[in-house]
Amino acid sequence: MPIPPQAVVLHRSARRNVDIDGFAAARGLAIVAYVDAGCVEQPTAFGGVPVVSFAAWCKGLREIPSIVTAVDPAERRALAERIAAAGGAFATLGRSGGAVSPTVRFGAGTLVGDGPLSINRSTTFGRHVLIATPASVGHDCAVGDFVTIHPSAAISGYVTIEDDVVIGVGAVIVNGLSSKTLRVGRGARIETGAVVTKSVPAGAIIVGNPGRPVRS
């Protein structure tokens, strides 16, 4: 079939996914297929777009850039690694202009929502980061791979977010300093509405205001 020049393939997991259909269309992107690892080899479609198995993607759609829409970092990582192992490449749907500094850098496969967004200077995002808007990220921050930032989250300057972290709806991370970066360790979860004012160990679950760990 003819492939539009600005095409993407969306890989979905069995659990909750980001709905970016309208977002993609607004950016002039044509979604040519949805890939469902559990799909059987029977013709099916969603909104007129074919839903295909991973095997069918490998045979005919592997050259088209992919976006992984799983919300959970572990699921997103597993899908991305499977795609990469099969020789696939990734689209990067970041943002530029407005309140997003031109010095901001987005890694491959990162997906940023189209709502209000502020990201200050010298901030970098790793691979396959998901930023659901509205959101605010300060200056001189480093966000690792497979991080999920839910709507209305706010991160101050001089904060490092390690891989696989989940930042919940309305969560706030503040008090990063140039002399002492605030660090959120790998795999930590900052729950809805939590306020983080000091570094968080890897794997911790933080709740409340002020934030406190409930489990590591």
Q: Active-site positions?
A: 139
**Chain mean position to CA 156:** 19
Please, are residues 112 and 131 in contact by the beta-carbon 8 Å criterion?
yes
What single-letter amino acid sits at 1?
Answer: M
Cα 203–Cα 208–Cα 211 angle in degrees, nearest 5: 55
Burial 22-60 (b: 16+ CB within 10 A, else e): ebbeeeebebbbbbbeebeeeeeeeeeebbbbbebbeee
Q: Which residue, 91, 95, 103, 161, is CA-closest to 128? A: 91
